[in-house]
Amino acid sequence: MKFFIDTANLDQIRDAQNLGVLDGVTTNPSLMAKEGITGRENILKHYVAICNIVDGDVSAEVIATDYDGMVKEGEELAGLHDQIVVKLPMIKEGVKAAKYFSDKGIKTNVTLVFSAGQALLAAKAGATYVSPFIGRLDDVSTDGLNLIAEIRQIYNNYGFSTQILAASVRHTMHVIDCAKIGADVMTGPLSSIEGLLNHPLTDIGLAKFLADYKKGN
Ligand code: G3P
């Protein structure tokens, strides 16, 4: 299972990278705005800065919602760095653009996916990644993990190579449940990754080992 971090915060990206378990980064316009990154030029520079920190794929989202605009913007983003994945919204024009980029060998991430049907379309269009938003489904009393399971079954049935990127992950149990279901990738905040470290018995056990060592040394 690949671990992506879902942020545009460079310090947090460095922290996750330094932990040695990071496989990539996802961003979106809201995450960019949260870091105060505004203006096209600054946004493009920020993507390059992220690529220079991590080794893996970095999703950069288009703002255009028409096919020509998405293709133009996506090509500009893909040209920034070979780690860039063009992130496209799950709308009709986004599916067409995913097919265009997939035919050109440019990686894509189809985002804002909330149903199995949308995920099937993204796979048919040849998307590299599909991003079902599990946390936002949970927010509206719908089981986000069930969607991951449905997509896993459909992709397995037909051998689709599109990777299931569980997005809108909010906490460690989402990560573990996604791993049990077989999501290829999860993207979440640093806390969802670092939270996996925690167990009180580890802390108690370590304290005892160190105390016992001290007794004899
Ligand atoms: O990866 C998608 C993500 O950025 C949305 O997360 O927590 O805003 O639903 P959230």
108 C-alpha to ligand 1 centroid (Å):
17
Judge if the beta carbon of residue 27 lies within 6 A of ligand 1: no
Residue nearest to atom 2 of ligand 1 (CA): 168
Residue range 10-23, pLDDT digits in tens: 999 999 999 999 99
- pLDDT at residue number 71: 98
Tell me what the pLDDT averaged over the chain comes to.
98
Residue pointed to by tokens 């946004």:
43
Q: Which pLDDT score, from 0 to 100, does residue 129 have?
A: 98
Q: What is the pTM of this model?
A: 0.96
Q: What is the DSSP code string of 36-52? A: T--SHHHHHHHHHHHHH
pLDDT at 12: 98
Instruction: Return the pLDDT at 4.
Output: 98
Q: Which residues belong to the active site? A: 87
Whole-number Å distance, alpha carbon 133 to ligand 1 midpoint, is 7
**Residue 132: DSSP 8-state:** E
Percent of the chain with pLDDT over 70: 100
Distance 187 CA to ligand 1 centre (A): 9
Determine the pLDDT at residue 152.
Answer: 98
Mean pLDDT value of segment 93-122? 98
Q: Quick one: pLDDT band at residue 67, thresholds 50, 70, 90?
A: very high
Q: Do residues 70 and 64 touch, judged by C-beta distance below 8 A? A: yes
**Closest protein CA for atom 10 of ligand 1:** 168
Compute the average pLDDT of residues 136-152.
98
The per-residue pLDDT for 120 is 98
